[in-house]
Amino acid sequence: MLVSSDLKPAFITPAFGNDWLTHLHEVQLPGGISWLPNAPVWWLLVAVLAVGVCRWGWRCYRRWCGQAYRREALRILQQWQTGRESRAVVARALPELIRRVALTAWPRRQVASLTGQAWYVFLKQTSETLSPPENLRYLAHWPEHRLAALTEREWTELMDWARAWILLHQPEARL
């Protein structure tokens, strides 16, 4: 059954529904919010922070490079403890390693001339918390049989002190 156009019911009109909604358009959303600062003061603050971070990174890198001698000395010490060298050979080389570390950390004119009691006092002053083992003074002068006869306790004390001194000595403390 066909209905003619003039017989349409009154509620069916071309503008069916609310007349106010017929002229609506799609809502235009604003663009995204920029993360970049708008005021020049913020740009200045960002620049100052960037310079500060770069400076901090550079100082950390220089400190890490400046500690290379400690890492190398600890690596040598670790090789000696796990290596095949006899205790006599290692005990003879230990004062030399300590001397090389000291010559790297302090000015040569300050450390190179130290021997005997003066060297022992220097080691004591540079590690405020650790006192060097008494037998460290004599390692360079003892005969091979005395070095080979170091007890386990003496050996452990020497190696522990050497590791601690390499890690904890204070080159900033000028004598």
Is the pLDDT at 143 greater than 80, yes or no? Answer: yes
Alpha-carbon gap, residue 158 to 136, rounded angstroms: 7
Q: Dihedral of CA 150/154/160/165: which sign?
A: negative
Cα 30 from chain centroid (whole Å): 46
Q: Retrieve residue 103's tokens.
A: 């010559």
Alpha-carbon gap, residue 120 to 131, rounded angstroms: 9
Q: Retrieve residue 122's tokens.
A: 């220097």
Q: What are the backbone dihedrals phi and psi of residue 169, each rounded to the nearest 5 degrees, phi first?
A: -65, 150
Question: Which residue, chain included where needed, has tokens 């002053």?
Answer: 125
Model pTM greater than 0.75?
Answer: no
Q: Binning pLDDT at 50, 70 and 90, where does residue 132 land?
A: confident
Q: Binning pLDDT at 50, 70 and 90, where does residue 40 land?
A: confident
How does pLDDT run across 49-94, given as a tens digit for each residue? 999 999 999 999 999 999 999 999 999 999 988 878 888 888 888 8
* C-alpha gyration radius of the chain: 40
Question: Which residue, chain included where needed, has tokens 């390499």?
Answer: 166
For 11, half-sphere exposure in the C-beta direction (CA atoms, 13 angstrom radius) is 0
From the DSSP assignment, how many helices (H) and strands (E) are in the chain? 7, 0
Alpha-carbon gap, residue 140 to 120, rounded angstroms: 13
* pLDDT, position 13: 57
Alpha-carbon gap, residue 65 to 132, rounded angstroms: 27
